[in-house]
């Protein structure tokens, strides 16, 4: 019975549909999956020690499934090649309303080609514009919602064309917007998105535990449709508010490659910044190759950032 229950819980993130998708907030958490992995190992060892081979299939299957899952969602590139000189260098982070001054010195030392930020405080917009001018960046700011007081920011050293943002429903029957632009990299157009998918809504000072996953799935589906309609390479970076196993972001992940699994090493946890326990921040791409991917902590935001280098597919 214990082995059967274990296998059921292990498979839960892959079968959640409809209203049950809200269970992803528990079932797809990395710490729970680690506990399940340890339980599976324990049951397999117990069955072997007791020569109870007829009990091996269920915990053995759960163990193999969890090992496959771990290998497919973590970075396995400890010795990634140095990024080529002509690589597209990117930094992405949910900055938690941190001011531009928190990033200015780093940008001077690391003049990335693209800076893709979320939760940029609207009141800092003019200061970001000044920093962009000082450092030679083009800038695009997109409010997250009309009432949010924050939004997504794209800074680019490359030619930048603003595209219509992707709009999707959000909490309270409002509209959520995702910044969208096009750059020219080595003569190749690339569509860029900086996104902040639905998190647990804050209503009258209290977090609402259910409702975010359904909205996040709708937002991911709408983004996936827009991406499917374009033939050029695509970069989607941001705070997905979802681990790689969350069913709500499958529409995006089915179409795009996770840069961390392509060129990172280890779990790649980004949240919470002080003691990261989850990988909810990501860069997903199509039509490119990730050369390097590292997790970086630059500011007092509750999220760590991603520093990456991408090249065109040969």
Determine which helix (DSSP H) or strand (DSSP E) holds 200, and give its type and residue range: none
Supply the pLDDT for residue 2.
76
The tokens of 238 are what?
């941001």
Which DSSP letter does residue 24 get? Answer: H
Return the H-helix or E-strand segment holding 143: strand 138-143
Coil, strand or helix at 122: helix
Instruction: Count how many residues are written for the chain.
Output: 314
Residue 52 has pLDDT above 90, yes or no: no
What CATH architecture is 82-312? Answer: 4-Layer Sandwich (3.60)
Round to the nearest angstrom and report the end-to-end CA distance of the chain.
51
Q: Give the pLDDT confidence score for residue 213 in this predicted structure.
A: 95
Residue partners of 35: CB distance under 8 A and separation at least 6: none
Residue 4 confidence (pLDDT)? 82
Rounded to the nearest angstrom, the gap between the alpha carbon of residue 59 and the centroid of all alpha carbons in its chain is: 31
Share of the chain above pLDDT 70, in %: 98
Closest Cα to residue 196, out of 100, 124, 112, 116? 116
Dihedral (Cα; 209, 211, 214, 218), 10-degree rounding: -120
Checking if the pLDDT of 19 tops 70, the result is yes
SS3 category, 17: coil
Note the pLDDT of residue 50. 86
Spatial contact of 94 and 71, defined as CB atoms under 8 Å apart? no
Check: CB of residue 267 under 8 Å from CB of residue 278. Answer: no
- In Å, how far from its chain's centre is CA 119? 14
The helix (H) or strand (E) run that includes residue 151 is: strand 150-156
Across 227-243, average pLDDT = 97
Residue 80 banded pLDDT, cuts 50, 70, 90: low
Question: What local confidence, expressed as pLDDT, does residue 143 receive?
Answer: 97
Which pLDDT tens digit goes with each residue over 284-308? 999 999 999 999 999 999 999 999 9
Name beta bridge partners: 117.
Answer: 93, 153
Whole-number pLDDT of residue 313: 79
From the list 305, 313, 311, 314, the residue with the least C-alpha distance to 103 is 305
Instruction: Please give the mean pLDDT across all residues of the chain.
Output: 93
Residue found under tokens 């941190």: 98
What does the pLDDT look like over 158-204, one tens digit per residue? 999 999 999 999 988 899 999 999 999 999 999 999 999 999 876 65
């Amino acid at each position: 019975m214990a082995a059967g229950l274990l296998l059921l819980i292990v498979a839960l993130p892959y079968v959640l549909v409809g209203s049950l998708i809200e269970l992803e907030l528990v079932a797809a958490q990395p710490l729970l999956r680690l506990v399940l992995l340890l339980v599976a190992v324990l049951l397999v060892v117990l069955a072997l020690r007791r020569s109870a081979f007829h009990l091996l299939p269920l915990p053995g299957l759960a163990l193999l499934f969890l090992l496959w899952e771990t290998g497919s969602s973590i970075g396995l590139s400890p010795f990634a090649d140095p990024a080529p000189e002509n690589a597209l260098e990117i930094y992405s982070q949910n900055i938690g309303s941190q001011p531009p001054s928190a990033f200015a010195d780093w940008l001077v030392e690391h003049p990335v080609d693209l800076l893709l930020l979320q939760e940029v405080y609207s009141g800092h917009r003019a200061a970001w514009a000044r920093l962009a001018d000082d450092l030679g960046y083009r800038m695009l700011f997109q409010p997250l919602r009309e009432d949010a007081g924050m939004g997504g920011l794209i800074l680019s050293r490359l030619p930048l064309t603003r595209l219509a943002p992707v709009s999707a429903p959000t909490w309270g029957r409002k509209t959520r917007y995702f910044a969208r632009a096009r750059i020219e990299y080595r003569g190749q157009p690339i569509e860029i998105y900086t996104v902040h998918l639905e998190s647990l809504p804050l209503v009258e000072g209290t977090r609402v535990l259910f409702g975010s996953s359904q909205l996040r799935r709708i937002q991911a589906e709408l983004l996936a449709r827009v991406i499917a309609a374009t033939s050029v390479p695509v970069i989607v970076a941001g705070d997905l508010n979802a681990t790689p196993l969350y069913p709500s972001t499958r529409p995006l992940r089915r179409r795009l490659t996770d840069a961390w699994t392509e060129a990172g090493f280890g779990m790649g946890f980004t949240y919470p910044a002080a003691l990261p326990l989850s990988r909810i921040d990501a860069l997903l791409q199509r039509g490119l190759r990730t050369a390097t991917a590292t997790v970086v902590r630059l500011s007092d935001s509750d999220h760590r950032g991603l520093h990456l280098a991408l090249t065109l597919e040969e």
